[in-house]
Amino acid sequence: MIKNVLVINGPNLNMLGKRPKEHYGAKTLAEINELIKCEANNSFLVDFYQSNYEGDIITKIQDAISKYDAIIINPGAYTHTSVAIHDALEIYNGIKIEVHLSKVDEREDFRKINFVRDVCDKTFAGKLEGSYLDAINYLKNIK
Ligand code: DQA
């Protein structure tokens, strides 16, 4: 049974609300986090972490080992560049879900390169904040 979940957001996701709305919608990260908490509805505890720094994200993933049953991660642009985040997720032994607001696979070619997908259990993308809520519901349905 899942008791606690860590939601990690990577670079520039602290700027949601100011980023291109056609890809990322109009909500701020704080608003999205509130929606996530409501969707989790006390099924499990949810913690939130955002950083613009690759190394800090890696340390957070390492610290999550044996502390959190699942990670939901939107690595932002590091999705397309970070072997190091791939390696950290590979070590993490809980459930790993990759999330993107935008239709990341249908955009520029450089966004089709993805270093995290093969070490995650599931991906939700292209539904704006709904992608995070889909991830929460996926976890709620794991018994
Ligand atoms: C993103 C997609 C990435 O390509 C981009 O660099 C982001 C956000 C998304 O949520 O759609 O910062 O991960």
Q: How confident is the model at residue 123 (pLDDT cuts 50, 70, 90)?
A: very high
* Structural domain that includes position 46: 4-140
Catalytic residue list contains 92: no
Q: What local confidence, expressed as pLDDT, does residue 143 receive?
A: 66
Q: Is the CB of 111 under 6 A from ligand 1?
A: yes
Q: For residues 62-68, give the mean pLDDT.
A: 97
Q: For residues 47-51, give the mean pLDDT.
A: 98
- Read off the CATH number of the domain in which 25 is found: 3.40.50.9100
On the question of pLDDT at 84 being above 90, the answer is yes
For the chain, the domain total comes to: 1
Q: What local confidence, expressed as pLDDT, does residue 79 receive?
A: 98
| Each residue's pLDDT tens digit, 102-111 | 999 999 999 9
Task: Report in angstroms the alpha-carbon separations of 128 from 63, 82, 102, 131, 132.
Answer: 28, 23, 6, 6, 8
Q: What local confidence, expressed as pLDDT, does residue 15 receive?
A: 98
Give me ligand 1 centre to Cα 125, in Å: 10
pLDDT, the chain, mean? 97
Q: What local confidence, expressed as pLDDT, does residue 24 receive?
A: 98
C-alpha–C-alpha distance, residues 132 and 130, integer Å: 5
Tell me which residue has its CA closest to atom 6 in ligand 1: 77
Structure-token pair, residue 23: 């890809």
C-alpha–C-alpha distance, residues 89 and 44, integer Å: 21
Place of tokens 């291109």: 20
Q: For residues 60-80, give the mean pLDDT.
A: 98
Q: For residues 18-39, give the mean pLDDT.
A: 98
Structure-token pair, residue 1: 């049974």
Q: How far apart are the first and last CA of the chain?
A: 6
Place of tokens 């935008």: 102
Give me ligand 1 centre to Cα 22, in Å: 12
